[in-house]
Amino acid sequence: MARIPVVQVMAPQSASRLLDDQTRARLAAIVDVDLDLVVSDWAAAAEPAVAAALARAEVLLTCWGAPTIDADVLTAMPRLRAVVHAAGSVKNLITDACWDRGIAVSTCADANALPVAEFTVAMIVLAAKRVFAVRDDMRSPAGRAGQRWDFGRADPATGTYRTVVGLIGASRVGRATARLLQSLDVQVLLADPTITADDATALGAELVELDELMARSRIVSMHAPNIPATRHLVNAQRLALMHDGATLINTSRGALLDHDALLAETRSGRLWAILDVTDPEPLPADSGFYVLPNVVLTPHVAGSIGSEVFRMGAMAVAEIERLAGGQPLRHEVTRAQFPTQA
């Protein structure tokens, strides 16, 4: 039986990082794919070899850097029936034209959610233990002189035991974070208007309204999708509800947070912030966040990096295996789901 033709569409550097040797061999064994051909720009479709490959393609294997798939480019792919995205969000990749043509769409967002959740839980533990403040103490003249840190100075709220952690959003990452937090002795609050109290209980969390979550939590972590309704979801009024010394973590999207309001709160020293995403991203060189000791900035590294990218490649190949075997996709994104996804 003929093997289904697959074309890789992504940035060249994504292709070099996506598939390890084992997964490349697995993909080559089940489909007709030229692993040396990577389409990163639809202008390349003018080249005879690329045009021929796209004309035959039934599946596109996409990743970071893939150009948008709209009605115009779909005319060059009359046999296309599925797009398997070996990354998270498909927002800048998929258009209505794909669903209009009946093309199935799959995402590896579940694979990308795990490292984000792991990063988040790591930051929650570090924030609860006040590690970043202690780090600065160790760098002070007294710390360098070898003076032992006085554990008696620790705020009784320091530590993970019974710490209240608030999760904003029961997204893939929010749910994965809640599950990982079940291994800690913390109390988890969850705010999300799309789930029930029973759904939250199954995740080991208590469902509450967002304002209550902000007021009760020592650590707040953001996991909502970036849609118009969530822009500046965490604003000055909600930041004002947080405990003195509380920590806000954002690994979702910068637009969910009013950065001017957060800058005012962190400049005052009242709140801590751990920001893996910002708005804009990156921040301008003169941003006040760079110099604040109570702000930890990382450059959008919570998602899959290094070896973690191979997990997404393996999931994508597993989806293609299902297509080749006549089975339904396991991680399909439907038109109805699309507007509310990150």
Mean pLDDT, rounded, of the chain: 94
> Are the CB atoms for 155 and 246 separated by under 8 Å?
no
User: Which string of DSSP letters, residue by residue, matches 164-212?
Assistant: EEEEE--SHHHHHHHHHHTTSS-EEEEE-TTS-HHHHHHTT-EE--HHH
Q: What angle do CA 300, 317, 109 make, to 5 degrees?
A: 35
Helix H or strand E encompassing 61: strand 59-62
pTM: 0.92
Give the type of residue at 247. T
Show the tokens assigned to 306: 């290094």
245 to each of 155, 233, 254, how far by Cα in Å? 10, 21, 21
> Are the CB atoms for 257 and 222 separated by under 8 Å?
yes
> Are the CB atoms for 186 and 203 separated by under 8 Å?
no
> Are the CB atoms for 116 and 173 separated by under 8 Å?
yes
> Are the CB atoms for 82 and 307 separated by under 8 Å?
no
Show the tokens assigned to 265: 């709160």
Tell me how crowded residue 239 is: count the other CB atoms within 10 A of its CB: 22
Residue 248's DSSP bridge partners are: 220, 273
Structure confidence by residue, pLDDT tens digits, 27-75: 999 999 999 999 999 999 899 999 999 999 999 999 999 999 999 999 9
> Are the CB atoms for 18 and 38 separated by under 8 Å?
no
Q: What angle do CA 15, 96, 61 make, to 5 degrees?
A: 15
Closest C-alpha among 295, 255, 293, 262 to residue 277: 255
pLDDT at residue number 40: 96
State how far the Cα of 95 lies from the Cα of 160, in Å rounded to an integer: 44
pLDDT at residue number 68: 98
Does residue 293 have a cis bond before it (omega within 30 degrees)?
A: no
For residue 243, the SS3 value is coil
Structure confidence by residue, pLDDT tens digits, 291-327: 999 999 999 999 999 999 999 999 999 999 999 999 9
> Are the CB atoms for 76 and 99 separated by under 8 Å?
no
Chain position carrying tokens 């993970």: 160
Q: What angle do CA 263, 268, 269 make, to 5 degrees?
A: 100
Chain position carrying tokens 């309204």: 209
Chain position carrying tokens 């952690």: 165
The CATH classification number of 113-297 equals: 3.40.50.720
Mean predicted confidence (pLDDT) in 270-292 = 97
Mean predicted confidence (pLDDT) in 128-135 = 91
Length of the chain: 342
Show the tokens assigned to 116: 């984000």
User: Domain 5-107+306-340 is of which CATH architecture?
Assistant: 3-Layer(aba) Sandwich (3.40)
pLDDT at residue number 237: 98
Chain position carrying tokens 């479709």: 45
Domain boundaries, the chain: 5-107+306-340, 113-297
Closest C-alpha among 228, 160, 149, 157 to residue 188: 160
pLDDT at residue number 4: 96
Residue 147: phi and psi, rounded to 5, are -70, 130
Residue 189's DSSP bridge partners are: 166, 206
Instruction: Give the pLDDT band of residue 135 (cuts 50, 70, 90).
Output: confident
Whether 152 has a pLDDT exceeding 70, the answer reads: no
Angle between helices 21-30 and 308-324 (to 10 degrees): 10
Within this chain, domains 5-107+306-340 and 113-297 share the same CATH topology: yes
Chain position carrying tokens 């070898």: 146
